[in-house]
Structures are given as C-alpha cells and as structure tokens.
Structure 1
Amino acid sequence: MGKTVKRVNNRTLASIALVGAFAATLTACGADATTSATTGASNDASTEAAADLSGNLAGAGATSVEKAMGGWIAKFGEVAPDVTVSYEGVGSGGGREQFLAGGVQFAGSDSALTAEEAAAAVDRCFGGEAIELPLYISPIAVVYNLPGVDAEHLNMSPATIAKIFSGQITTWNDPAIAAENEGVTLPALAIVPVNRSDESGTTKNFTDYLAKASEGAWTYEASGDWPISGTQSGNGTSGLIDTVSGAEGAIGYADASRAGDLGTVALKVGDEYVPFSTEAAAKVVDASPRADDATDKRLVVKLDRTTTEAGAYPLVLISYSIACSAYDDAADAANVKAFLSYVASPEGQELASDAKVAGSAPISDSLRTEVQAAIDSITVQG
C-alpha cells in the first residue's frame, strides 16, 4: 500500500488562495539548481505561499514515470520543504486501485480510468470527480538483447512484432525479420519474448498498438494484463528490463527512458522505419483526437496507432496524473494543486525531458492551458 496520509485539518481556504503565487515561484525556479529566482514583492508572496504549504502528499502508480517523478519531487521539495511528497511505483493498476480506495491523494497511470473507475471516483472525491492530466508523454521502446548484431536499430513492422510476441516467429534469423533488415547478419538464436507480469499501462498501450496496427497478426484485445500464459516476464519496468538484459535473444517492451544499452526497434510507419524519439512521440499525440468520454477535467487522448505521418512514432504511452476535483481537506487540495502545477509548468516538463532524468516529450503550450484550467478547478468540499 501507499504511504499513510496525515491530515492537516486546521488548514482553510486561504491555503488555496496562495497556490497561484506558489506556482509562479515554481515556474521561476524551474530546473535551476537554486531556489531563489525572484525578488521583491513577488519573492515575498511566493515565500509566504511556500511556508503555508505543509503535510504529506502521497502518490502511487505507473513505474514508467518513476524517474520523472523523482525529479519533480526533488525540485518541488526545494521550494516547499514542509510538504513530504512520496510516490510508490506499483504499476498503473495498483496506483488507480490505491487512489480509488483513498490510500493516496494522486495516482500515475499509463492508461485512463475505465468508465467504472470514473464512476467510483465520485465517492472517493467527496462528490467531485477524477481529473486526468496527460503530463508524461513517452515512446515505448521495443528492446532486445542481441550482442554482436551490428545495427543501430533493427527494423520491424507491427505485424512482425506481433508475430514475435505471439510465438509465431521464434528465431532471430526468421525470413520475416531478415527481409526488413537487409545487410544485417542475424543469428540462428531462439527469440525469448518478455512481458510484464503485473497489470500494466505499458502493456495496455503495447497490446493496443499491436491490435490496431498489425493488420490482424495480433489476435488479442488491448489489455493491461498479458494475454498469453507460460511466457517469460518481469515485474514492473525494472523487472522487465532486468529479464531482457539477463537473457541473450530476449525481446521486450518498456518506457524508452529505461532502454539503456539494449538494442531498440525502429517501427515501420507508412513506407519508412522510425526509431523512437521524443519528437516522434509528440507528433502522434498532437495529431490524435480526444477520447469519446473526455471532458474539460478528463483530458484523455485517443492515440492514433495507425498513423502514416512522416517521422511519427505511434508506440507511445501517456501517463496520466490522476487526482480529485474536490478534497475534504484544504491542505490536500493546496498541495495537489501546487505539485501538479509544477509538473505541468514549462520548467517541470523541461526537467522530465532531460535525458538524464526521463527523456520524455514536453506537453504543448495549448495542452498546458487545458491542464492548468483543470488543476485550478480543484476545490475543498464542505
């Protein structure tokens, strides 16, 4: 379970009024190493706001966002030292479960709430509703362990990837792989597909891509639980990467920030092969429509997995920061608003985009405007 939340019941709505000034401080500080970036009246107001915020702010969820979350928490702590922020990487499903049970004030999830979960959030959010903010955008890398293969990337179509993970292609020198990689010497080595063992938003995004883009080669529905039994697996992103790294011939899928020294696949998009990059991931998100049940608080994107746009990389995950539109405690509301405002700020997004932190794709200015409006709508119930 997540960290127990300590209520600070003597807070009032005055806490909320200071969040705007506090968010301005965070924007000014950004990714600098210093905490003093403003002067005069602005600095006085922001200092007052930071001093007013205190208590515990607990989150849990997707392991894909752990690196970025670590950076955000560290920077937030510089300007709000009396707020103890924690985040437990338990997987997207575990994060949503803890959030809906009231164990944490916010969650991270690589898949949006289901209709049933959104309905359950009304009770958890004290008569309000869940807000879902697409604050972490990252390509999912198809990673492999093939020492000695001299190629910057291996090229694969969605159908080839689907056949590998469904067990139809079983050796690395299979003609289907060779045809897409002329001039590359491929070993007569068994392929070891590796999947996540836990319920995972990354798995749901990966299987959604296979289901929509493989032209029927993947016969399973998109799911956060791996649909095939008896496979090699790893728990969480780290567990999957460790499993792939430890087995020559293995192939898996993970948030691209965790690919490390493993080989990665360039995906066939239209007539070209596109390696992952933040720019290629952002192209897909900007070109994709909102989900049918999206609202001004639930900013859920319906990713276009079959795009043929040049330079786009359609195997992307969006990790949503999930919070309540209403809390029963003013300190909780103020802390959530301040923290998420920093995460959404240009500086917070720039911090996560640093390859040394997470290498994610920053959200666009237009999306940031919508996100901030949803954050600003958070209130105290009763």
Structure 2
Amino acid sequence: MLKHAVLLFCALAVSATQATDITGAGSTAAAPLYTKWQQAYTKKTGNKLAYEAIGSSGGIKKIKENASDFGASDAPMSAADLKKFNLLDFPTVISGVVPFVNLPGVKDGELHLSADLIAAIYSGKIEKWNDAAIAKENPKLTLPNLRVLPLARADGSGTTFTFTDYLSRVNPEWKKQYGSNFSIAWHADVKTIKGSDDLVATLKKTMGAIGYAEYAYVVENSLNYVQLKNREGQYVRPNALSFKSALANSGWKNTGNFEEMLTDKPGPGSWPITGATYVYVPRITSQPERTAAVIQFFTWAFMEGDELANSLDYIRLPDSVQARVVHEMSSVVDAKGNRLSVPIFVK
C-alpha cells in the first residue's frame, strides 16, 4: 500500500467533494486493467470512468486537444512534447507484449522464436511455417506446411511501438528498414487490423496467423503464446516472473527513471518485450475538479488496485517509481497556480 501517497496528498488541501465522473482514452493494452479498476472504484466511491480503448496515438491526440480528462499510451511521450503541450506523464503498471499464433498441431508455448525470426516473418522473408529457419529453432516440433499470415495493428498503437522498439534494438536490418513507432509502413504481406480485440478475433479464425498484443489479452482469450529468445539466449515464457525480471534489470527500481524502455533487458529469466503503460494529464488544468478526480482515481489504484492488477499479471510499480509519480502528481495546479484538492479514499 502506498502510505507515502496518503501522507503527501493529505498535506494538500484535501476536502470532500461531490462525485466527479471522468473520461480517459488511448491504450488498448491497459483497457482490461482500467476496466477492472473502474468497476471496483465506482463501487467504492460512486465516481465513474468512461474509458475509450482507441489506441495510444488516439489517446495522446485527445489529451493534447483537451478532449479527454486523461490520455493513455504504452510508450512515454518525448520531453519536447510534454513541454510543448504542458502535460505530465506517469506510468501505472508493467506488463509485456506477447506474440501468439494459430498453428495446428502446436500447443500453447511450444513454438520458439527469436527476434530475427519475427523480423523475417514481418518483413515477408519467411512465408511458410515449416521454413528451415523456424524448424532449426524448433527441432522437436512437426511444423505444418502452412502459409504464414502476420497480423499487425492498423491504428496508432503503443503495443506496436513496444513491439517494434524491441525488433529495432535486436535486429539492425529491421531498425534501418522499418524502425519503431506507433504505426509503421508494414510489408505488403502483413494484414493490418484496428484494435487489439479485432486482431485477436481475426487470429482465432485464421490458421497460420501470428499476431501480438498485451499479455492480458493472451490470458483472457487463452491464446497460443510464443516463447521468445532473450538477450541471454534463453527461451522464456511471458508471465509475471519474466516481466519482473526485466524490470529488476532496469534502472526503474533503483533510480525511479521511468523514461527508460524495458525492452531487451538482461537476465536469463527476462521477457524481452516488457513495457509499461502511461497516463497523461495537464500540468496546469482549466478543469481542476476533473483533473483532481483523475489523480484521485490513479492514487486509489496504486493504493488498493494491486490484487486486480495481479489477476491479469500486470506488475505494480516499484516503490521508488510510485514515490516519484505521487510527487509529480502533487505538482499539478489550476489556472491560478493553486494545488488541487484531492480527496483520498482508503480502506
């Protein structure tokens, strides 16, 4: 429980206010968790959150245009944009982006892939699942003579950003040809689909398909995930332990530096496509009651939402990061420069 958050916010002008409903938009990766948090929070406080899972680019666009109370993305915004649009960003949880397949005769987690193989698949260089390069990394599997159909997000996606950031770090050819971004110019063989839900639905009915999504979608939809080769040359499964390993081998825990990407971290048990989801709010708000309600919601989530996050294998932020987040949230002011009044709900 984030006791320091309670002490810090209680030091502000804390007062009882009427219920304030808020809106958020962006990350589809965070949507399963925000939905669970919202349901529990509404039951606790009576306050409601309407969240639109429209993709990270859409969420960033909305908060820049002041069309939503907060934006959510699976990649940190640049310091230049934060300054330009006068926004504050902070992470909420850690998880992983996971490749998954619809491959007959191959059980969950049996398929082993490396970054080079994934890059070759998504750049059109591998067309069949029984290709010699895939067979070499999977000598115990009988791979079908089936065409590979790579699926990717058509909308501006933080999940795509994290996925392509990983490929760019590990595969120089991918970095040169495609790079990393919320949306990229995919190879002609890649089928693009808007939203994680529709991508998952398409994969489920398409033999030979491979896609990627945040781990919560893998859990909720019982998808056939891939084991990935990490920096240490070990094949690892996506789960809370492998996400924690990547986090532990980063600067987040010791320095509170949440601008650092968590992809391709060292450690024999580290999941190589680990990442975080971020929230954006105004630093100087023209709607103090609504911004205070956003801060109240996420402070409650840090204090009481761990069990719900754990149920989807999201990882809570290290104490050093939570302390930094709470400190920065307390710096938000209204148009007159006054700190916000943020009621705190605890057990």
TM-score interval for Structure 1 and Structure 2 normalised by the shorter chain: 0.7 to 0.9
The separation in 2 between residues aligned to 1:145 and 1:287, in whole angstroms, is 32
Q: Does the CA-based 8 Å contact 2:69-2:291 persist in structure 1?
A: no
For residue 186 of structure 2, give the secondary structure of its aligned residue in structure 1: coil
Q: Deviations over 1:31-50 (max 9, x none)?
A: xxxxxxxxxxxxxxxxx95x
The separation in 2 between residues aligned to 1:350 and 1:118, in whole angstroms, is 31
- Select the residue among 93, 108, 132 that pairs with 2:57: 93
Q: Does the CA-based 8 Å contact 1:234-1:241 persist in structure 2?
A: no
- Select the residue among 25, 36, 50 that pairs with 1:60: 25
Q: Which residue of 2 aligns with 1:308?
A: 266
Matched, 1:381 2:335: yes
- TM-score in terms of structure 1 length: 0.78
Q: Deviations over 1:105-163 (max 9, x none)?
A: 111101111345323322xxxxxxx2211112111110100122246331111111110
- Select the residue among 339, 342, 347 that pairs with 2:297: 339
Q: Does the CA-based 8 Å contact 2:97-2:273 persist in structure 1?
A: yes
Of the structure 1 ranges 68-77 and 93-102, higher mean CA displacement relative to structure 2 is found in 68-77
The separation in 2 between residues aligned to 1:113 and 1:152, in whole angstroms, is 33
Q: Which residue of 1 aligns with 2:343?
A: none
The separation in 1 between residues aligned to 2:233 and 2:55, in whole angstroms, is 35
The separation in 2 between residues aligned to 1:330 and 1:210, in whole angstroms, is 41
Q: Structure 2: which amino acid aligns with 1:311?
A: G
**4+ runs deviating over 6 angstroms:** 21-24
Quick one: structure 1 residues 323 and 171, their matched pair in 2 at CA, closer, same or farther if it must change by over 3 Å? same
- Select the residue among 142, 145, 157 that pairs with 1:188: 145
For residue 185 of structure 1, give the secondary structure of its aligned residue in structure 2: coil
Please show how residues 267-286 of structure 1 align to structure 2 within 5 Å.
267-269=228-230, 270-286=232-248
The separation in 2 between residues aligned to 1:57 and 1:327, in whole angstroms, is 14
- Select the residue among 55, 68, 81 that pairs with 1:117: 81
Q: Which residue of 2 aligns with 1:165?
A: 122
**How many residue pairs align between the two structures?**
322
Q: Structure 1: which amino acid aligns with 2:44?
A: V
The separation in 1 between residues aligned to 2:250 and 2:85, in whole angstroms, is 26
Where does the alignment leave 5 or more consecutive residues of structure 1 unmatched?
1-18, 25-47, 123-129
Quick one: structure 1 residues 236 and 216, their matched pair in 2 at CA, closer, same or farther if it must change by over 3 Å? same
Q: CA deviation at 1:84?
A: 2.9
Q: Which residue of 1 aligns with 2:321?
A: 367
Matched, 1:263 2:224: yes
Quick one: structure 1 residues 115 and 227, their matched pair in 2 at CA, closer, same or farther if it must change by over 3 Å? farther
Q: Does the CA-based 8 Å contact 2:152-2:211 persist in structure 1?
A: yes
Q: Does the CA-based 8 Å contact 1:149-1:184 persist in structure 2?
A: yes
Matched, 1:107 2:87: no
Please show how residues 199-238 of structure 1 align to structure 2 within 5 Å.
199-216=156-173, 219-230=177-188, 231-238=190-197
For residue 206 of structure 1, give the secondary structure of its aligned residue in structure 2: helix
The separation in 2 between residues aligned to 1:90 and 1:306, in whole angstroms, is 27
Quick one: structure 1 residues 277 and 64, their matched pair in 2 at CA, closer, same or farther if it must change by over 3 Å? same
Q: Does the CA-based 8 Å contact 1:279-1:361 persist in structure 2?
A: no
Larger Rg: 1
Q: Which residue of 2 aligns with 1:69?
A: 34
The separation in 2 between residues aligned to 1:111 and 1:304, in whole angstroms, is 10
Q: CA deviation at 1:326?
A: 2.5
Q: Structure 2: which amino acid aligns with 1:206?
A: F
Where does the alignment leave 5 or more consecutive residues of structure 2 unmatched?
337-347
Quick one: structure 1 residues 267 and 328, their matched pair in 2 at CA, closer, same or farther if it must change by over 3 Å? same
The separation in 2 between residues aligned to 1:206 and 1:268, in whole angstroms, is 14
- Select the residue among 250, 257, 268 that pairs with 1:288: 250
- TM-score in terms of structure 2 length: 0.86
Quick one: structure 1 residues 103 and 304, their matched pair in 2 at CA, closer, same or farther if it must change by over 3 Å? closer
Quick one: structure 1 residues 87 and 214, their matched pair in 2 at CA, closer, same or farther if it must change by over 3 Å? same
Q: CA deviation at 1:183?
A: 1.1
Q: Does the CA-based 8 Å contact 1:23-1:341 persist in structure 2?
A: no
Matched, 1:253 2:218: no
Q: Structure 2: which amino acid aligns with 1:77?
A: T
Q: Structure 2: which amino acid aligns with 1:303?
A: M
The separation in 2 between residues aligned to 1:165 and 1:138, in whole angstroms, is 23
The separation in 1 between residues aligned to 2:296 and 2:211, in whole angstroms, is 37
Q: Deviations over 1:50-86 (max 9, x none)?
A: x5242231110011111100111112112321x3321
Q: Deviations over 1:238-262 (max 9, x none)?
A: 1111121121000011011112232
Quick one: structure 1 residues 55 and 213, their matched pair in 2 at CA, closer, same or farther if it must change by over 3 Å? same
Q: Structure 1: which amino acid aligns with 2:25?
A: A
